[in-house]
Amino acid sequence: MWILQDIHTYLVISFVVMCAWLFKALYKKCRDGLEKGINDIKNSIEELEERKLTTERHLENLRREMEEVTQSIEKAVQEAEDEAKRITEQSAILISNAIEQKQDEYKREIEKIRTGLYSELQRRVSELIIKEIGHKLQDAKIDRNFQNIGIDNAITKLEILSERHGK
């Protein structure tokens, strides 16, 4: 029995040693795997932090560029508005000058036409008066005194017309 006890002892000791050895091997493997996983995670975190910093720097550069572009656009828009205002003002001045010139030309043309019409009217009225005087002198065959009165009336009418034309 003693031998059975020794075998049991031997088996128990062998089992404990085997369990210890298995535990040590598995623990080492698990520890190595965990350390490798932890190191991989640390490396990934470091890489992500580097990417984050790079991304933040890139984002800051983009913000600055965007501000510069915005300022450039605002400046270009302001310059365009100023140029449009200047062109509009110049156009208004040119149009105003052209209108004034045309109005002056029309006034001169109207004055020429008015002068021509007055001259034509005065000439025709003078012709009519002369015809009327001639008809009256021929039709009436009156004495010299009456003729002088008719001539004086005709001269008075001519003077009235010339005064009107002078105004």
Give residue 31's pLDDT. Answer: 84
Asked whether 137 and 151 are in contact (CB, 8 A), the reply is: no
Matching residue, tokens 């656009």 = 73
Give residue 66's pLDDT. Answer: 93
Query: 113: which 2 tokens?
Result: 């036409």
Query: 109: which 2 tokens?
Result: 């043309």
Instruction: Quote the pTM value.
Output: 0.41
Query: 34: which 2 tokens?
Result: 């965990």
CA distance 149 to 72: 94
Please list the rounded mean pLDDT of every run of 10 residues in the chain (167 residues). 65 85 83 87 92 93 93 92 91 89 88 80 77 68 64 78 66
Query: 101: which 2 tokens?
Result: 């010139």
CA atoms in the 13 A half-sphere facing the CB of 8: 5
What's the sign of the alpha-carbon dihedral 84, 86, 87, 91?
A: positive
Question: CB 62: neighbour CB atoms within 10 A?
Answer: 10
Give residue 45's pLDDT. Answer: 92
Give residue 85's pLDDT. Answer: 92
Sequence spans of domains, the chain: 43-166
Matching residue, tokens 């003077």 = 159
Give residue 71's pLDDT. Answer: 93
Give residue 79's pLDDT. Answer: 92
